[in-house]
Chain A
Amino acid sequence: MELNKSHASNMFQKNVRKFLRNKLAMIGMVVMLIILLMCVFAPVFTSYRADQPDFSARTQPPNLPHILGTDKLGRDVFSRILYGGRYSILIGVTGAFFGSLIGVILGAIAGYFGKLIDSAIVRLSEIFQTVPNMILILILGAVFGRSIGNLLFIFAITGWMTTFRIVRNEFIALKGETYVQVCEAFGMSKIDIMFKQILPNVMSPVIVATTVNVAHFILSEAGLSFIGVGVPSATPTWGNILNAAKSLDVISNYWWLWVVPGVVITVFVLAVNFFGDGLRDVLDPKQQ
């Protein structure tokens, strides 16, 4: 037991060192943390409120008091991006986490037990997969009203299928392995076999998929809000800020209104992806 523990902590130290040596992953993590912290502590970095119109300072290009300019209502773009980031990041992370959680649990159950349970869950996943998110958002929006909570709920229940299919396929491939049969012969409980013995071998593609999903949901929110069916437009999310750039007038005359939020989304999603790739390199036993 003692030996086991020190081995595990060695592995952990080795993994941390390996991650620290991965430059892209480190850059990704640092950029991600900087943007995250600036959004969380937004009041420290800007004295403007996100929803404070100033009609004497409309569509100003970047200048000293407004370092990223102002929009058509004279609201400070920099502070809108910081406060908007809070919502966008929260939506992405929470949606991806719950999506993966559902995917892992259902995938493990379906792959391990097989037969009827498997085909029932696979059918369910195929149904969810065939109805585009957009429609669920509309229906829930019509019944409960458009809100961030509903959007999160929709992301979680529409975002589990990728993880599900990965986990299920791996479980089907792995459950015939000798070590699983040995565990079964020892009389280990099914839950222990599924989540303690098989699951760790499946986690690396799940982590890659979850990272992809964080990025994907941030982009989804932006896209949905951009066309006007996502988060209510009073909430300053990154997508809602870009919504202002729908006219050719804005595109050609007020570049800071669409280039700045677009670049911020891109940089943040890029950072998340680099971080996820770094994690994969560390966690994937096949690469060690």
Chain B
Amino acid sequence: MLKFILKKLIQMIPMLLFISFLVFGALQLTGIDPVSYIATPDMAANQENLDLLRERLGLNQPFLIRYFNWVGDILRGNFGYSITNGTPIGVLIAQRLPATIELALISMVVSAVLGISIGIVSAIYQNSPIDYLGRFFAVLGQAIPQFFFGICLIQIFSIKLGWLPSSGRYSTYATPLRHFILPCLTLTLSLTSVLMRYSRNNMLGVLNSDYIKTARMKGISETKVYVKHAFRNAMRPVLVILCFRLPMLISGSVVIESVYNWPGIGSVITDAVIAGDYPVVMVTTLMVAASILIASFLVDVLTALLDPRVRLGEE
């Protein structure tokens, strides 16, 4: 098991390097000249000054050397600067990332607990009213566009009823918890339905399989059949789905941050995309990719714990 974890950890390094290379390459493809954002207008007229500035910043070095300089800078914690307002990107991330992590993490936990438990209950009581109700909400939750659901919530709870604030994270007129409820509810909805659908389908598949019938034939109690025999195998594909939906959670939070003016990293990305602020886009992408890598590493370890075939097959 330790060997498996170590192997997975070591595999992450070349992937991060590869992603950062892609990100840096794409930054070069956009053909932006950083000097034009640094130079003052009276300086910009003088070509010699510009060349000197380029020399000093190491911009006329070959692509690969600039790439390694860039990676070195990032490892030392120097993320570069926004080209629209000159803010250090590190500061931007430190200010905004916690809001997104808070939103995504709590939503993930809430939807995992909700989705998996509703899914399993639906599968055990297949074709009962509980099952129909659960499936109805799962299907509806997957069909409603997140932002549309968000707008509906704003219309009902903020405009009509006036119970919850419609935007922002902190304010003088509402507690942070009340600011948090609507965005979290919106982000939770679709992941919950995805997880519910998959855990129900998998649980059904497992419950129909021969080894469960054997277990029942042996006279093992129903609870034990569900908890000990079915649960582990039904959860393996669900964890895979959870892992694959993490970027969806990030994409979802990008949209939701736009609906609720939530001051997270998603709105930084959106603003940077619209303003063409490429350095910010690239570094935030790298951050997002790194956090998703770490999360999927955790899911891999969980999967291996649940299914010996996975870790034995890979060794």
Contacts and interface: CB of A to CB of B under 8 A. Distances in A.
A98 interface: no
B159 interface: yes
B244 A273 contact: no
A242 interface: yes
B189 to A, nearest CB: 12
B146 A223 contact: yes
Nearest to A132: B247
A223 B142 contact: no
A270 B139 contact: yes
A266 B139 contact: no
B159 A223 contact: no
B185 to A, nearest CB: 17
Interface residues of A, number: 53
Interface of A is mostly: helix
Contacts of B197: 212
Interface string B134-177: 00000110111111100110110001000000100000000000
A222 B240 contact: no
A133 B247 CA distance: 8
Contact of B255 (A126, A138, A227, A258): A227
A208 interface: yes
| Best-surrounded residue of A130, A219, A222, A267 (most CB of chain B within 10 A) | A130
A3 interface: no
A129 B201 CA distance: 23
Contact of A252 (B22, B159, B252, B281): B159
Given A215-B143, A266-B143, A229 B274 contact: yes
Contacts of A222: 145, 147-148
B117 interface: no
A227 B139 CA distance: 24
A143 to B, nearest CB: 5
Nearest to A133: B251
Contacts of A172: 309, 313
Interface in B199-248: 201, 204-205, 208-209, 237, 240-241, 244, 247
Contacts of A161: 244
Interface in B1-49: 11, 14-15, 18-19, 22-23, 26, 29-30
B250 A132 contact: yes
A223 B147 contact: yes
A129 B299 CA distance: 14
B11 A123 contact: yes
A288 to B, nearest CB: 10
Contact of B148 (A126, A142, A265): A265
Contacts of A8: none
A269 B26 CA distance: 34
A246 B208 CA distance: 47
Interface string B107-141: 00000000000000000000000000000000110
B270 interface: yes
Contacts of B258: 226-227, 246
Contact of A229 (B18, B22, B30, B273): B273
B241 A130 contact: no
Interface in A155-180: 161-162, 165-166, 169, 172-173
Nearest to B289: A130
Nearest to A238: B145
Contacts of A227: 147, 254-255, 258, 270
| Best-surrounded residue of B139, B147, B251, B254 (most CB of chain A within 10 A) | B147
Interface string A261-280: 01001110110011001001
Given A129-B247, A251-B159, A265-B145, A134 B269 contact: yes
A162 B145 contact: no
A152 B254 CA distance: 20
B255 A286 contact: no
Given A123-B15, A138-B281, A273-B142, A262 B151 contact: yes
Contacts of A267: 143
A204 B26 CA distance: 38
A271 B107 CA distance: 27
Contacts of B18: 127
Given A129-B292, A229-B274, A251-B159, A273 B251 contact: no
Interface in A210-265: 212, 215, 219-220, 222-223, 226-229, 242, 245-246, 248, 251-252, 255, 258, 262, 265
Contacts of A64: none
A9 interface: no
Interface in B50-96: none
A120 to B, nearest CB: 12
A143 B255 contact: no
The 8 closest A-B pairs by CB, nearest first: A262-B148, A269-B143, A270-B143, A130-B289, A139-B26, A135-B285, A223-B255, A227-B258
Given A162-B241, A286-B208, 4 more contacts: A129-B292, A223-B251, A258-B151, A287-B208
Interface of A: 123, 126-127, 129-135, 138-139, 142-143, 161-162, 165-166, 169, 172-173, 208, 212, 215, 219-220, 222-223, 226-229, 242, 245-246, 248, 251-252, 255, 258, 262, 265-267, 269-270, 273-274, 277, 280, 284, 286-287
9 contacts: A131-B22, A131-B247, A132-B247, A134-B254, A161-B244, A219-B145, A226-B145, A226-B255, A266-B145
